[in-house]
Amino acid sequence: MNADVSEPLILAAREGAITRVTLNRPRAINALNTEMFAGLDAALDAASGSSAIVLDGAGERGFCGGGDIKQIAFGGDPRALFGAEYRVDYRVHASDVPVVAIMDGIAMGGGIGLGGHAAFRIVTERSRLAMPEARIGIMPDVGGHYLLANAPGRLGEYLAITASEMGPADAIALGFADTLIDSARIDELREALAAGGDPAETVARFAVPVPEAPLNAVREWFDPIADAALTRVDAVTDPVGATAALLNGLETSDVPDARQAAEIVRGMCPVSLVVTVSQIARTRAEGLDVRGVLEDDYRIVPRLAVLPNFAEGVRAQLVDKDRNPKWQPKRVEELDAGEIAEILAPHAAGETGLGL
């Protein structure tokens, strides 16, 4: 399906027993903007009475490359934009009509917010998932900390601080997806769902065996390092100290892969690293659900979005594309603990929650 300039950015139509909802901005890998959030809201409203909502993306490159970060970084109202996005994410998660998200190809950032909390989360052999927000000066949001906190062992921390990509087996092993199908059978799956019947049984008929997840091997060396650092220093009460201890553990390890990972992490935004390590720990400690994590995201991410690091990260990654951001400060160890505490603090006067 290719988008014409006259077509809406969200396509929604009844197909037999289902409502098909398509992100229709393929030239931008279906990057989400405010118009699309409004369209998704309307599509979810119109899906009442369907046996399932099939959520997919137009084009050959992927399901959704994330939010339209340039819109947020250069002139948009962060609270309004993020609020619209997170409310749609929660609607997908809590929908009475089960959502079947087909995360074929690229699904990153905002794409995880839509697909990663759906009732049925499908990947194909072409899927590439990631939460790369530390590269651009914010933190994994859209409820991502819920998924990261519940990943096996310390793989959530690893994925967040390295901005690593997951293939389909990794996505299923880490809890970002449930079912692997062949991409050649996507249309057949949708037609079978449209024919009616139990969506769970239909999806199960198309499932193929999941290979071994490559990221499982990372646990052998990363988990002991992270456990030692994050047990010694509480990431909730001392996020800067905990993240510095984790980095030190990686940099002084005898394992070459750990030292290589440390080099990658040192290129990320220090503020983002500290905030996400702390939020993963808080999500685990308090047993936050998707609603609770989205409420946290709405409190914290707009604060990050107005800092110079966010505009700098977007410049380096998406505008000039020199991949050489000048973070303020350059290192985790140089961060001011009081400034981090302000970012993580409860709602200030005048701030409101999502109201989910």
Q: Where are the CATH 3.90.226.10 domain residues in the chain? A: 10-206, 216-344
Q: Which of 69, 282, 286, 57 is nearest to 186 (CA)?
A: 57
Cα 262 from chain centroid?
22
- pTM attached to this predicted model: 0.96
Q: In what order do the strands lie in the sheet with 52-57?
A: 10-15, 18-23, 52-57, 99-103, 120-124, 179-181
User: What is the pLDDT averaged over residues 282-304?
Assistant: 97
Q: Which of 102, 227, 83, 101 is nearest to 156 (CA)?
A: 227
Write down the pLDDT at residue 71: 75
CB 176 within 8 Å of CB 152: no
Q: Which residues contact 260 (CB under 8 A, 6 or more apart)?
A: none
CB 239 within 8 Å of CB 340: yes
CATH of domain 216-344: 3.90.226.10
Residues 113-171 have pLDDT tens digits of 999 999 999 999 999 999 999 999 999 999 999 999 999 999 999 999 999 999 999 99
**What is the third-level CATH fold of 10-206?**
2-enoyl-CoA Hydratase; Chain A, domain 1 (3.90.226)
Q: Locate tokens 């988008």: which residue?
A: 3
Residues 201-216 have pLDDT tens digits of 999 999 999 999 999 9
For residue 74, is pLDDT > 90? no
Tokens of residue 173, six digits: 């092993």
Write down the pLDDT at residue 302: 94
Length of the chain: 356
CB 52 within 8 Å of CB 193: yes
Residues 156-188 have pLDDT tens digits of 999 999 999 999 999 999 999 999 999 999 999
- Cα pseudo-dihedral 4, 86, 141, 213, rounded to 10: -70
